[in-house]
Copies of this chain bind each other. A is one copy, B any other.
Amino acid sequence: MIDVTLLGTAALMPLPGRALTAAALCCMGRCLLLDCGEGTQVAARAAGVSLMSADVVALTHYHGDHIFGLPGLLQTLTSQGREAPLTVVGPEGLEDAMAPVMKLAGRLSFDVRLVRLPPEGLRLRDVHAAWPEGARLAAFPTRHRVPSQGYLFALARAGRFMPERAAALGVPVRLWKALQNGEAVEVSGRMVTPDEVTGAPRRGLKVAFTGDTSPCESIVEAAREADLLICEATFPSDGDAALALERGHMTFSQAGALAAEAGARRLWLCHYSQRVEDPEACAPAARARFPGAVCGADGMRMTLAYE
């Protein structure tokens, strides 16, 4: 199960009622924060998301509207007595971008760990034990004016446990739990492995978050059959496509096309230019490509559950 909360939907500068684009993905009481612009901590509080339970802040790039909320967040967590380390991940340039942030934030009550994600992503249980076994955060390249990346949060799900096979292999019932937890067990001198007693892996859950980007193939790959794609849709109309490309952004229509090509199940639009006064008025362009496109709104929330 993943609780997804969209904390803001603005581009460039925070507005009354429209915080800068950021999202929280929570699972088993722990959270990932995706981007942290000025005001993200307030938006989280307003949406009922406690960032004390955030283990990772994943930055899509280092433009101010995606990172200027960090000094305040780090100080707030300190004032709340946080001791657990906080992992901050981001594209190339993470150390340089974080240096003035850490300088401004000053003395903290916890460690901030700067991490470049390996290609296979970060196993979240390595960061905090409460994360489910199959939870993983990976990055994919995006196309902005500076080094940038999107994120794929995946919750893998093991196959169904088959008690009849365990019984046939002579595994006593007291050892079934270990097998279900992914551990091998010894039975009469031989190791029985979980894959011998479980069916094919079942469909897990996947949420993709683009950050600021023009359309590109890596988004389609990352969002392939994703349960949810949270995609930037900076510019309202098809006529803005050239401008969008120049600025490293996309239009409502392009966001819809990406979601359709990826076969995503759901699409939330966000990161609206100030010119987008009413996202619903721009939505038809996205829905022409992806009929279920939803205009993201600050505080929008949903729970994604296993089928």
Contact = CB atoms under 8 A, between A and B. Distances in A.
Nearest to A76: B13
Interface stretch (A38-46, A238-246, A286-294): A38-46
A39 B99 CA distance: 22
Contacts of A79: 12-13
A20 to B, nearest CB: 9
A42 B18 CA distance: 9
B71 A42 contact: no
Interface in A134-168: none
A190 interface: no
Given A13-B41, A39-B39, A42-B14, A64 B68 contact: no
Contact of A38 (B38, B99, B103): B38
A40 to B, nearest CB: 9
User: Interface of chain A, helix or strand or loop or mixed?
Assistant: helix
A299 B37 CA distance: 23
Contacts of A169: none
Interface in A9-25: 12-16
Given A41-B38, A75-B64, A104 B101 contact: yes
Nearest to A96: B103
A249 to B, nearest CB: 14
B16 A45 contact: yes
Copies of this chain present in the complex amount to: 2
Interface string A43-72: 001100000000000000000110011011
Given A38-B38, A38-B41, A72-B38, A64 B106 contact: yes
A15 B71 CA distance: 16
Given A69-B38, A72-B38, A72-B68, A45 B104 contact: no
B14 A41 contact: yes
B41 A42 contact: no
A72 B16 CA distance: 15
Given A64-B71, A71-B68, A39 B12 contact: no
Contacts of A45: 15-16
A307 to B, nearest CB: 35
Nearest to A67: B104
A124 to B, nearest CB: 27
Contacts of A14: 39, 41-42, 72
16 contacts: A13-B75, A13-B79, A14-B72, A16-B42, A16-B46, A38-B38, A38-B41, A38-B72, A39-B39, A64-B104, A68-B71, A68-B72, A68-B75, A100-B101, A100-B103, A103-B103
Given A38-B69, A100-B103, 18 more contacts: A12-B76, A12-B79, A13-B41, A13-B79, A14-B42, A15-B42, A16-B45, A38-B42, A38-B68, A38-B72, A39-B39, A39-B42, A64-B72, A64-B105, A68-B68, A68-B71, A68-B72, A100-B104
